[in-house]
Amino acid sequence: MNEYTTVTVERKDGLAVIALNRPERLNAIGGGLERELGLALADVAADPGVRAVLLRGEGRAFCAGGDVKDMSGRAENSAENETGPSPAQQVYQLLHGRRILETILSVPQPIVAAVHGYAMGLGATIALFCDVVIAAEDAQFADTHVAVGLVAGDGGAVAWPLAMPLGAAKYYLMTGDRLDGTEAARLGLVLRAVPPDRLLDEATAVARRLAEAAPLAVQGTKATVNQIVRERMNLLLDLGLTLEGGTFVSDDHREAAAAFVAKRRPEFRGR
């Protein structure tokens, strides 16, 4: 088994609980979290004693998405030609963004996401690629790509339109507006919203119910239905990531990242 620093893994009575563990950064993607999450999912996928997975976040958030402070540093280095990945390398790395989504889909056991606090950008996408999402009523969902000058071209473009009406999905993807757990449940983005103090109990109960069901039947049903998600990924993701890659090295993205760190309003110029 692998050892982790940015996630924790616990197994008990057929249920594996994976917790994102960068609470000081609201579990933002960075510091090796994405890689370790993939390894943790692969570990539990290969464990015949695990019949269901519960995914949650430590601290005040599920996952705040990409670490905008890291983005700002990369953007500054790229603009000043300092050490670090070149613009071409950054785009190439972005095109591997489907790896964590493929990993989530390839886990044979059902995955239940328990979402509290922020689920932003890639954080929201990771939750929505799980098989069942239970949210706290005051959880905050958003795909924040456009807010930082990026095309919402990764898994959010796959997951949001599959879960809610197309017009609503386009609105939230193009604006980056937030919706709380209650509204997310009303629109179908999550299965249900519950009071925050009941979230972990409710999500655990759902995960345990799935763990106690016939495993071949549950896993075969998941694999069958996930063909819909895979088909949508094949339709959208290459184009979406290519367009997102173009904006990743844009002036607008650098401006958005710098404005976020400086806590000011960005000024976009379409460059």
190 within 8 A of 162, measured Cβ to Cβ? no
Q: What are the tokens at 160?
A: 């949001």
Specify which residues 124 forms β-bridges with. none
CB contact set of 264 (below 8 Å; sequence gap of 6+): none
Mean pLDDT score of the chain, rounded to an integer?
Answer: 91
Does residue 250 or residue 68 have the better pLDDT?
Answer: 250
What confidence tens digit (pLDDT) does each residue in 105-145 have?
999 999 999 999 999 999 999 999 999 999 999 999 999 99
10-to-19, 26, 55, 110, 119 alpha-carbon distances in Å: 9, 21, 11, 16, 22
| pLDDT > 90: percent of the chain | 80
What confidence tens digit (pLDDT) does each residue in 234-251 have?
999 989 998 999 998 999
pLDDT value of position 1: 61
243 within 8 A of 91, measured Cβ to Cβ? no
Q: What are the tokens at 191?
A: 């299965």
pLDDT value of position 98: 81
How many Å apart are CA 19 and CA 58, to the nearest integer?
A: 6
Q: What are the tokens at 90?
A: 């950054």
pLDDT value of position 66: 80
190 within 8 A of 134, measured Cβ to Cβ? yes
What confidence tens digit (pLDDT) does each residue in 24-58 have?
999 999 999 999 999 999 999 999 999 999 999 99
Does residue 75 or residue 151 have the better pLDDT?
Answer: 151
CA angle 133, 139, 145 (to 5 degrees): 85
Q: Tell me the domains of the chain and their CATH numbers.
A: 7-262 (3.90.226.10)
Q: What are the tokens at 118?
A: 């922020």
Lowest mean pLDDT: which of 121-135, 180-194, 253-267?
A: 253-267
106 within 8 A of 43, measured Cβ to Cβ? no
pLDDT value of position 87: 72
Q: What are the tokens at 209?
A: 């119910």
Query: Which amino acid type is present at position 39?
Result: L
Question: What pTM value is reported for the model?
Answer: 0.90
Q: Where are the alpha helices (DSSP H) in the chain?
A: 33-45, 68-79, 87-94, 98-106, 122-128, 155-163, 166-175, 181-187, 199-212, 215-248, 251-262
